[in-house]
Amino acid sequence: MDIFTSTLFYLMNIINVEKIKCTIMGDFNVDLLKYNSRDKTNNCVDNLFTQGLLPLVTKPTRVTSTSATLIDHIYTNNICKASIFEIQM
């Protein structure tokens, strides 16, 4: 997790400095529903917010009779396009 996070934020810093519009998608195996209870999840999400990225997926993506997780991620810094995407969902 630490290597992933440091690499991601190194790349995000370049994208931010160059003012590149981007969308990041993936199954990161970081459960956003654990934001309040896991420091690494909290740090990862807070750093994405700091880089100007907002999540487009905000509800659980895997639900069973005993659990729910949100491990499939889509983030963007292209807010205009994101609001159109959310309306169409």
Total of domains in the chain: 1
Average pLDDT in the chain: 83
The predicted model scores a pTM of 0.74
Residue found under tokens 């994101």: 82
Give me the percent of the chain exceeding a pLDDT of 70. Answer: 90
Give, as one character, the DSSP assignment of residue 33: G
Q: Which domain holds residue 56?
A: 2-88
pLDDT digits 0-9 by tens, 44-73: 888 888 888 888 888 898 899 999 999 888
Report how far residue 53's alpha carbon sits from residue 34's, in angstroms, rounded to the nearest whole number: 19
Give me the percent of the chain exceeding a pLDDT of 90. Answer: 15
Instruction: Give the per-residue pLDDT at 66.
Output: 95
